Amino acid sequence: MFASSRPWPRQLLAFGALGALLTLFVAAAAVFTLSGTVRTGHELGQLSQAQRLHQDADMMHDALRADVANAQAAGRGSPTQSKAQILRASQDHATEFRSDLDGLQRLQLPADVQVMFSASRAPREAYIQLAQQLVESTLRDGSIDPQRAQLFQTRFQALVDRQSAVTSTLAKTSAILQREQAARERMVSRVLVLASAGALAGWAFLILMLRRAGMRLFDALNREAEQRAVADQLQRSLLPERLPVIPGLRLAARSKPAHSDRHVGGDWYDVISLPSGDVGLVVGDVVGHDLRAAIAMGQLRAALRAFAVYEPSPAAVLGRVNRVADLLEVTDLTTCVYAVVNPVTRSVRWSSAGHPNPLVVQAAGQGELLRGDPGPPIGVTKGAMYVDRTCRIQRRGLLMLFTDGLVERRSTSITDGLSLLESISGPHPNPDGLCDEVLSVLLADGAEPADDVTLLALQA
């Protein structure tokens, strides 16, 4: 820059150096004030935890007194179960009391507060031990020793006074720290205002430089939005507008995208009325949510429908679809399960290409996942072999096909999700009821699933 044939004015260089020094000064002041704010905020957080633990310990203090009173009221003639409940309650309260005391001991608190908590630890431990001893002896002997009862009451009242003093100290210390935090926050605000004013001149030049890059990015986002809109429209056209009406069968479907801003995800389902009178059920999952995934979904769906009309074997249909995927170079990872149901005999033939096995629900409501290792996903292996498997649905029983988004969670294994799915009890009046119950149980945490969720249920 300085070797340029065009010399820079001395005034510009001076302003640049002055601006750099000012920026360094403002940055250092900001870091200093922010460090104080962070430290005060940490102390406030520790005090808040101390108040919560202290309050809980105070509650356990009263709970143990109630346990002693309950033991005295129970007497010797109370049922053994009632005595056991009182003893267990006192043990739980003592455990939680000690846990609160341990938590208070680990906190980083101001010195005066820490001293008060340390001084009250021993009297509290003595109170806990005496309360447990009184509960045990009273439940065993049927009466309470008057002298020990008086000692217990004395210790209870002493702790009441001590805990009241600790509460007052916590409140005062918290108020002081809050005032300090407010003052530091005001200082940070002033420093940030000065820093913003000092950096505004430099940002103006940077904005001019970035304007052209921003316009290019805006154009790219517009193209991405248009492509996403086309993909959404294409994917919507691939899902059935309504399920067919088939004598002897009831059908229901649910589709829930992984993200609420996406109306359609990478899953698809289909119901095919076959010339033989059987009914074909399909659930598939294409990795991705873009235009390419939507095109791959359309190609595979069309191929499967075409082969299903002439091929009674689900395994053979999946094998043909796999060959089509290879010929069309559909490289998107796709899993699929295809089942053929006879409405009269309620027999089912099914085959899976890397997809979770279907769920069969008996008329009484017991659910069971069909057994069998799934074949490879579509398009992974050129000569993939798939296996036909059979089962039979009870009258008023149900068959449900689903995608792995229903049972997969980041925090747990898919095995836990499958076990939870099998544990859902019935009976279920219709496939709509089954779908709603499954979604309410598997998505009970209320969080959006990590992947799309699709269900297709049939009742004989």
Distance between CA atoms of 199 and 205, rounded to whole angstroms? 11
Q: Write out the two tokens for 415.
A: 């095995």
Strand 347-353 with 367-369, pairing: unpaired
In angstroms, rounded to a whole number, what is the distance separating the alpha carbons of residues 287 and 280? 23
The whole-model pTM stands at 0.52
Same fold, 10-203 and 246-459: no
The residues spanned by each domain of the chain are: 10-203, 246-459
Q: How many CB atoms lie within 10 A of CB 117?
A: 21
Write the CB contacts of 277 (distance below 8 Å, at least 6 apart in sequence).
342, 343, 344
Phi, psi of 132 (to 5 degrees): -65, -40
Per-residue pLDDT of the chain in tens (460 residues, 90 and over written 9): 344 444 445 655 665 666 666 677 666 766 766 676 777 777 778 878 878 887 888 888 888 888 888 887 876 667 878 888 888 888 898 899 888 888 888 888 877 778 887 888 888 888 888 888 888 888 787 777 788 878 888 888 877 877 787 787 777 877 787 777 777 777 777 777 776 676 666 666 656 665 666 677 677 677 766 666 655 665 565 677 788 888 889 999 998 877 655 545 578 899 999 999 999 999 998 876 666 777 777 888 889 999 999 999 999 999 999 998 888 777 667 899 999 999 999 999 999 999 999 999 999 889 999 999 999 999 888 888 999 999 999 999 999 999 998 998 877 888 988 999 999 988 888 999 999 999 999 888 765 666 789 999 999 8
In CATH, the number for domain 246-459 is 3.60.40.10
Say which CATH class 10-203 falls into.
Answer: mainly alpha
